[in-house]
Amino acid sequence: MDGVNDTDDQAAKLAEIARRMRAHVNLIALNPTPLSPERASSEPRIATFARELERRGVNVTIRDTRGKDIDAACGQLAGDVLDRTNAAQRLAQRRRREGQPVIWTPKKQETSA
């Protein structure tokens, strides 16, 4: 995620864990969704992150995400599902009551006449 877990410092921390576990790291860019403020890292940033892991002795693969072009990649389909339970609205109301920040405001649902 851009600016969240794609920094050189994060690569160093991940490399330490991955080496200890002898893990292979797969890097997959975040799929954008309308409900999330986070965005995917740029391709150059992902490549730099991968090089930093490799420099620290970690096997790494940059994976391609498929379906993003038609909003069908992992996590994207849920963003367009009609919320018939009003869970998002109830969560927002509870957060307001408790004085917590409301992360997003649900879209008004269309009703048919």
Binned at pLDDT 50, 70 and 90, residue 106 comes out as very low
What is the mean pLDDT of the segment spanning 80-103? 71
Q: Is the pLDDT of residue 89 over 70?
A: yes
With cut-offs at 50, 70 and 90, classify the pLDDT of residue 25: very high
Element (H, E) at 10: helix 8-21
Alpha carbon distance 107, 88 (integer Å): 10
Domain span including residue 72: 8-79
In a domain, 108, yes or no: no
- Residue 84 is encoded by which pair of tokens? 């018939």
Q: Is the pLDDT of residue 92 over 70?
A: yes
Predicted model pTM: 0.61
Give a yes or no: residue 85 inside a domain. Answer: no
Structural tokens at position 109: 């649902």
Give the DSSP H or E segment for 28: strand 24-28
Q: pLDDT of 28-80, one tens digit each? A: 888 777 677 888 899 999 999 999 999 999 999 998 876 666 555 555 555 54
Q: Which pLDDT does position 45 carry in this prediction?
A: 96
Residue 20 lies in a domain: yes
What total number of domains does the chain contain? 1
Q: What is the pLDDT of residues 9-22, one digit of tens each?
A: 999 999 999 999 99
Domain presence at residue 29: yes
Q: Is residue 35 part of a domain?
A: yes
